[in-house]
Amino acid sequence: MRLPRDLSGDEVTIALARFGYRIKRQSGSHMQLVTLEGGEHHVTVPRHGAVRLGTLRQIVREVANHSGLTTEQVLARLFQ
C-alpha cells in the first residue's frame, strides 16, 4: 500500500487514534502523542499543512515496531 499524500498533522493524529494514541502535549507546531497499549510509546507529529512523506513513513515505522505489526498492516489499519 502506498503512503497517502497531502495529509495534515491533524489527519495523521486522527488516524493514529485507531492504535490508541492521544495527544499528550504540544510544543510549537509539533504534537507529542502517547499510547499505553502494549506499553508506553511516544510519537511526535508535526502540525503542518501537509506532513512530508519521509516523516509519515518514519511515524508508520515507529508504530509498526511498537505494535509488532508490519508497516503494510499498520498502513491498512490507519488509512482504510
- Tell me, yes or no, whether 58 lies in a domain: yes
Decide: 9 and 55 in contact? Cβ < 8 Å.
Answer: no
Which grid coordinates belong to 49?
499543512
Torsions phi, psi of 33, nearest 5?
Answer: -105, 150
pLDDT attached to residue 23: 97
What confidence tens digit (pLDDT) does each residue in 8-29 have?
Answer: 999 999 999 999 999 999 999 9
Q: Provide the residue range defining the domain that includes 27.
A: 9-79
When pLDDT is cut at 50, 70 and 90, the band that residue 79 belongs to is confident
Instruction: Please indicate, yes or no, if residue 47 is contained in any of the structural domains.
Output: yes
* Number of alpha carbons in the 13 Å side-chain half-sphere of residue 5: 0
The pLDDT, as a whole number, for residue 48 is 83
DSSP 2: P
pLDDT in tens, 32-78: 999 999 999 999 999 988 999 999 999 999 999 999 999 999 999 99
Kindly report the CATH number assigned to the domain that includes residue 38.
3.30.920.30
How many domains, in total, are found in the chain? 1
Task: Judge whether 3 lies within some domain.
Answer: no
